A and B are shown apart, each in its own frame.
Chain A
Amino acid sequence: MSDTALRTARPRSTRTLPGWIGLAVVAFWLLVALFAPLITPHPPAAILRLGMLSPASAAAPFGTDFLGRDMLSRVIYGARYTVGLALLATVFASTIGSVLGILAAVSGGWTDAGLSRSADALISIPHLMFALVIVAALGSSLPVLVGLIAFSYVPGAFRIARSLAANVNAMDFIQVARARGEGTPYIVLHEILPNIMLPVLTDFGLRFVFAVLLLSSLSFLGLGIQPPNADWGALVRENIDGIYDAAPAVIAPAIAIATLTIAVNMMIDGLGGRRLRARLER
């Protein structure tokens, strides 16, 4: 085919700027979460004398919440839960799910059948119901929440990774690796994983959004982060009455969630994607 000239004609490096912006925003929130006690103007549980659901002012730039606490401080502390907990849980879910998915695709046979059917079984349980049962049984604590959210999203990540890996597994370079005598761990991590990284990361971005929502739902039901602490989802929920007064207390955590989730996806599309995309679009 005479498309060689066209291949070189494709522009390559365009997505860097949004990628960098995404990275910057994610880094910003990570730093905020890390240094929360140093940068909050007020203790997150302290009640100010500004009234409830007050508008933005110099003392409380994001206004106050339904109990009169400083919203800025609460959002900064909320970052610890949302970024830390949801991100951590999603990292676990995607890593475990992807590795198992590739393993299933590479091994085939009984390993594949066993893993796939277990994933099917787990995927059929509604996340929230499952979470309620587990929290009821084990009580609510940070490790339980991380484990719970991670566990809920492993089957989904598994299914995606398995189908992606099955395509790559059919390529000749896998045969080359097998003929060389490579073990399964090498094939999973070095031969297959780099080739499915972009879609897996995209899936990670989506899953992170779901994790934030699941965590918020649990918090709303009183099973997630326990008051007086609150993650961003819980902050939206507890101040929901302020929506009628156009209080910044509702908007601020919502914007925080939006910036983080969009930034994560921008970062993945841009930075992780550039080289991978160039390769996949051949």
Chain B
Amino acid sequence: MSALLQVQGLCIAARNATGAEVDIVHDVSFSAEKGEVVALIGESGSGKTTTALALLGYARPGCRIRAGVIRVGGVDARRLPADAIADFRGRRVSYIAQSAAASFNPAHRLIDQVIEGSLVRGQLSSAAARAKAVELFAALALPDPEGIGHRYPHQVSGGQLQRVMAAMALMTDPELVVLDEPTTALDVTTQVEVLRAFRRVVHELGTTAVYVSHDLAVVAQMADQIVVLRGGRMQEQGRTGQILTDPHNAYTRMLLDAVPGSHTIAAETHTSAAQPVLEAEGLAASYGRNGGVPALRDVGLKVLPGEVLGVIGESGSGKSTLARVLTGLLPAHAGTIRLGGTVLAPAAAQRTRAQLQAVQIVFQMADTALNPAHTVGQLIARPLAFYHGMDSTAQKRRVAELLDMVRLPADLAGRLPADLSGGQKQRINLARALAAKPSLLICDEVTSALDTVVAAAVLDLLADLRRQLGLAMIFISHDLATIRSIADDVMIMYAGRPVQTGSRAALARGPIHPYAELLAESVPELQQGWLDGLRPPRVALGRAEQRQAAARQLASDGCPFFSRCDVRTEGVCDTAPPPNHALSTGAVIRCVRSEAELARAQGVQ
């Protein structure tokens, strides 16, 4: 029996600056039997999305499929006439894009968009299509499968939207589904739910799938085969087990090594007697007028010289708000921030220049954090002139030093940010913050937008800088593995409040706050079958329940984590705020459960 998907000698060409055609995908070949999942893995620019799109017989503007065979169920995608290709794309192959939010039309109800493909092709009547969509919603474990289709895209969560998009792709019973980084933009806890749903559907329907990702741990859960791409060339191809345990290719080994958590780069020294660089107590902040939407409530923290405080939480947990409050961009309406003993004004505009200089922030998106109109040299020189009053020759020398410090060549100073890669931009972003000579660096998700290998390099750089300069840091991330590898102390936030604060060791040893446990077990592990070995999902929340949960998060009493908690007690957790109490590990958690109870629930000795 021949394979359902066959790609042979695929070459895709694009035009370069001089107008000449250059191959951006070189001679890629792989195949998949019916019901198999093939993963395409690689960094940005590896050609994985370009290859995946080619499976639909599509090349992006400026590109062209130059050579090779693409066969799906015996049909050659390259030989199809123009009118047949549309049918081919819907019926035989379908596509699930990375950003579901950008793929739905915000003006139409979900159900209408989901069934549109079937209606256009005249496969099903409207009623039959709706019924089928509801079936798929249920199969994908979406809450309220009957009703969810009648909502608009903004009324469902990101993880739900991604699953609705999967339903849309599966409506026409395609033989092949192409999933392009479908969970990359999601929180880990959501990612687990989505992966679980995808996996079940792929199994049940016997769909063949091509899964594009940069995350080996995710791929390990989904794929039967892995194709490793780099710079448009195949590096290695093999069964998932073989790639993970016995990679033959040097680049594959590099990818495996770059998975965060595979090595620890945090220093082990503790200087607890010193005065904290930054200390905060009872911070509260909100967005909108007159205390509109509370975003932070009663947050306290302490950063000692040379130490890294990791802050972790899902999107919406208030971790980026915390960074904005500490830097004064969003003035806190309660609480105090102390910098080396002196109280800071809540708003940046009221702080002295020396105080501003001491606390520097590095934003997540280097793309938007660097002014595209300024050269690298101008960007880094500005803090030098602004805080230290350097003249232009001194600035030039220092810019070269700083570039060297972040391991970039000095001749980059004349370039514009648009000429740089993502990793280079993030280093410039870092160099600009370092130019101020801060005593505390706040890193807000600085590695989240980067490829695994590049992110690992940036983390290494941060660890180095910390050793060299004795810099204290607040490192904000949604990725527990990253936090574990860089932070000395970890603060876990949920709904704008810290639920656990303590050392990294305390987090690893346990017992820990129930939310910390949920986070910890949601981080995909680099082994096959990890997903299947997970506990079954907790109670899926209906819409009404969710709304209640949200309301509870905003109300001042009751534990915000109540609705998702494994060890909750009705009538206790949802009525009174949970108390802070210290554990024997030194960690402070916000939970009514005692240490012994948590230890028992989590199986800690």
Residues of A that sit less than 8 Å from B by CB: 1-6, 8-12, 171-173, 175-176, 178-182, 190-191, 194-195, 197, 276, 278-279, 282
Contacts and interface: CB of A to CB of B under 8 A. Distances in A.
18 contacts: A2-B46, A2-B49, A4-B421, A5-B232, A6-B60, A9-B15, A172-B365, A175-B324, A175-B363, A179-B327, A179-B348, A179-B361, A180-B383, A194-B374, A195-B372, A197-B373, A279-B372, A279-B373
Interface stretch (B17-25, B31-39, B275-283): B17-25
Contact of A9 (B16, B232, B329, B360): B16
Given A2-B48, A181-B353, 9 more contacts: A2-B50, A4-B44, A5-B232, A10-B62, A173-B369, A176-B369, A179-B348, A194-B371, A282-B418
Contacts of A175: 324, 329, 363, 369
B287 interface: no
B19 A11 contact: yes
Contacts of A10: 17, 62
A210 to B, nearest CB: 28
Contacts of A172: 363, 365, 368-369
A15 to B, nearest CB: 15
A173 B372 CA distance: 9
Contacts of A3: 45, 49, 60
B20 to A, nearest CB: 9
A179 B386 contact: no
A171 B368 contact: yes
B14 A178 contact: no
B436 interface: yes
A9 B373 contact: no
Interface in B313-368: 324, 327-329, 348-349, 351, 353, 356, 360-361, 363, 365, 368
B243 interface: no
B439 to A, nearest CB: 15
Contact of A6 (B63, B351, B372, B416): B63
A179 B372 contact: no
A3 B180 CA distance: 14
A274 to B, nearest CB: 12
A6 B365 contact: no
A107 to B, nearest CB: 12
B256 interface: no
Nearest to A280: B372
B363 A4 contact: no
B370 interface: yes
Interface size class of B (residues with CB under 8 A): 35 or more
A173 B368 contact: yes
Nearest to B360: A179
Interface in B42-63: 42, 44-50, 60, 62-63
Contacts of B383: 180
Contacts of A5: 14, 22, 24, 45, 47, 232
Contacts of A176: 361, 363, 369, 432
Given A5-B232, A172-B363, A179 B421 contact: no
A208 to B, nearest CB: 24
B45 A173 contact: no
A179 B16 contact: no
Contacts of A276: 373
Contacts of B371: 173, 191, 194-195
A263 to B, nearest CB: 26
Nearest to A2: B49
A2 B356 contact: no
B386 A181 contact: yes
A173 B361 CA distance: 11
A98 B156 CA distance: 40
B148 to A, nearest CB: 29
A275 to B, nearest CB: 8
Please give me the 6 A-B residue pairs with the lowest Cβ-Cβ distance, nearest first.
A194-B373, A4-B45, A172-B369, A181-B356, A172-B368, A5-B24
B369 A179 contact: no
Interface in B420-436: 421, 432, 436
Secondary structure dominating the interface of A: helix
Interface of B: 14-19, 22, 24, 42, 44-50, 60, 62-63, 98, 232, 324, 327-329, 348-349, 351, 353, 356, 360-361, 363, 365, 368-374, 382-383, 386-387, 416, 418, 421, 432, 436
B13 to A, nearest CB: 10
B404 to A, nearest CB: 22
A177 to B, nearest CB: 8
Contacts of B356: 179-181
A4 B24 CA distance: 10
Given A173-B371, A176-B363, A194-B374, A2 B328 contact: no
Contacts of A181: 348-349, 351, 353, 356, 386
Nearest to B16: A9
Contacts of B49: 1-3
A278 B63 CA distance: 20
A176 B17 CA distance: 33
A6 B418 CA distance: 13
Contacts of B370: 173
Contacts of B17: 8-12
Contacts of B18: 11
A77 to B, nearest CB: 41
Contact of A178 (B15, B232, B329): B329
A132 B483 CA distance: 69
A4 B348 CA distance: 37
Contacts of B47: 2, 5
Task: Choose among A3, A4, A9 the residue with the greatest number of B CB atoms under 10 Å from its CB.
Answer: A9
A94 to B, nearest CB: 18
A10 B328 CA distance: 41
A277 B516 CA distance: 48
Nearest to B370: A173
A132 to B, nearest CB: 42
Contacts of A9: 14-17, 22, 62
A9 B239 CA distance: 35
A87 B371 CA distance: 31
Contacts of A178: 329, 348
Contacts of B432: 176
Contacts of A11: 17-19
Contacts of A12: 17
Contacts of A194: 371, 373-374
Contacts of B386: 180-182
A176 to B, nearest CB: 6
A171 B329 CA distance: 13
B366 to A, nearest CB: 9
Given A12-B17, A180-B356, A6 B62 contact: yes
Nearest to B49: A2
B380 to A, nearest CB: 12
A171 to B, nearest CB: 5
A1 B213 CA distance: 10
Nearest to B180: A1
Contacts of B372: 195, 279, 282
A194 B417 CA distance: 14
Contacts of A182: 386
Nearest to A4: B45
A180 B474 CA distance: 17
Contacts of A190: 374
A4 B22 CA distance: 13
A120 to B, nearest CB: 24
A102 to B, nearest CB: 13
Contacts of B60: 3, 6
